[in-house]
């Protein structure tokens, strides 16, 4: 049995490690593609774009906030919206006259008036309104009612 004496001398125990910089240069990329960056860096909204321009922009607008939008105040309570009635289609005067002449309700009320009956106040007002419109349409179209009465006899 050979016997070696223990020494306190420190010799090269392991392999010398290479510095970090040399390791990074010598390591090949292990099949990884270096992809291009997509988008802006995080926090780009609040980082100044160009320091020279930020001074001028601050003097002009008073704010460096790049967010865009309306400065109009938002109403907290919505006003009531009035619903618009759909506009009635304007009829041709001849069509409107034909509708008045063929109106069964108007004809019933007129026959009741000829027989001497009295109508309810609302019905009488409606009949008067319809007859006034009939007179307007006759004048507008230039129809002479006396000629039609003579032809019927």
One DSSP character per residue, the chain reads -------------SPPPPPHHHHHHHPPP-S---PPP-SPPTTTTTS-S-HHHHHHHHHHHS---------SPPPSSPPPPPPPPPPPPPPPHHHHHHHHHT-HHHHHHHHHHHTTPPPPHHHHHHHHHHHHHHHHHHHHHT--HHHHHHHH-
Has residue 112 got a pLDDT over 90?
A: yes
Has residue 138 got a pLDDT over 70?
A: yes
pTM > 0.75: no
126 pLDDT tier (thresholds 50, 70, 90): very high
Which of the given ranges, 1-5, 47-51, 100-104, 146-150, has the highest pLDDT on average? 100-104
């Amino acid at each position: 049995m050979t016997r070696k004496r223990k020494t306190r001398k420190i010799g090269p125990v392991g392999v010398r490690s290479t510095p970090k910089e040399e390791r990074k240069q010598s390591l090949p990329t292990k099949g990884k593609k270096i992809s291009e960056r997509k988008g802006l860096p995080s926090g780009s909204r609040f980082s100044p774009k160009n320091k020279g321009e930020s001074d001028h922009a601050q003097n002009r607008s008073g704010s460096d906030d790049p967010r865009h939008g309306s400065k109009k105040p938002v109403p907290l309570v919505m006003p009531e919206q009035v619903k618009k009635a759909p506009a009635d289609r304007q009829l041709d005067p001849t069509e409107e006259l034909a509708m008045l002449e063929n109106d069964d309700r108007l004809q019933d009320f007129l026959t009741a008036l000829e027989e001497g009956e009295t109508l309810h106040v609302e019905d009488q007002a409606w009949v008067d309104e319809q007859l006034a419109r009939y007179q307007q349409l006759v004048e507008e179209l230039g129809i002479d009612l006396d000629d039609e009465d003579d032809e019927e006899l």
